[in-house]
Amino acid sequence: MLKDFDLKKKELIEKLGVHIEANDHYAPLAARIVAFIILNGRKGATFEQLVTNLCASKSTVSTHLTHLQSLKKILYYTKTGDRKKYFVVNKDHLVQNMDNMIATWTSQKILHEEIKEFKDSYNQLETTDDESKFDLEFHTDFITFLNEATASISILRKKLIEKHHI
């Protein structure tokens, strides 16, 4: 049972790592470090765990940890009497990612509203025949989607801030 769990964790680290690598434009090992830390939970991950589980050299892991900390993607904490550092995901970074998503969606919404308004104005011209009129359904649906997505991520952002006192 535990062996199956470990195998599933390794598969998820790889899948999540590929996702982070593609979306955040991180080096492959840096992305897998973040994935491992995420899947290790609140307890964090030690340097030794990262080296062992990701089959990487100490110097390479150290370089990526330093870089991820400089990006404020991860933080570490220590325990009294324990010389190890425990790396965890920076919750503030998650909020920043959500803020970026909201900003992107808001600018897309404004652009689609302007395009829709332009097309609607064109459709209202007396010289526009039915065949030349624009279909506005996509813009209407996309604007609705962006409004709902923005509202949803805003709720999640608020919960994260309240729960973690960010």
The domain of 36 spans: 2-89
The three-class DSSP label of residue 120 is helix
Using the 3D structure, point to which of 89, 104, 121 is the last residue of a domain.
89
**What whole-number distance in Å separates Cα of residue 44 and Cα of residue 21?**
20
Q: What single string gives the DSSP state of each residue in 89-116?
A: E-HHHHHHHHHHHHHHHHHHHHHHHHHH
Dihedral angle computed from the Cα positions of residues 147, 151, 152 and 158, in that order, rounded to the nearest 10 degrees: 160
pTM (2 decimals)?
0.75
Q: Tens of pLDDT along 21-59?
A: 998 899 999 999 999 999 998 899 999 999 999 999 999
Do 8 and 84 lie in one domain? The reply is yes
Q: Tens of pLDDT along 52-84?
A: 999 999 999 999 999 999 999 999 999 999 999
Do 6 and 73 lie in one domain? The reply is yes
CATH code (residue 73): 1.10.10.10
Do 81 and 6 lie in one domain? The reply is yes
Residue closest to 43 by CA, chosen among 76, 12, 4, 6: 76
Do 37 and 101 lie in one domain? The reply is no
Domains: count for the chain: 2
Do 100 and 117 lie in one domain? The reply is yes
Do 18 and 77 lie in one domain? The reply is yes
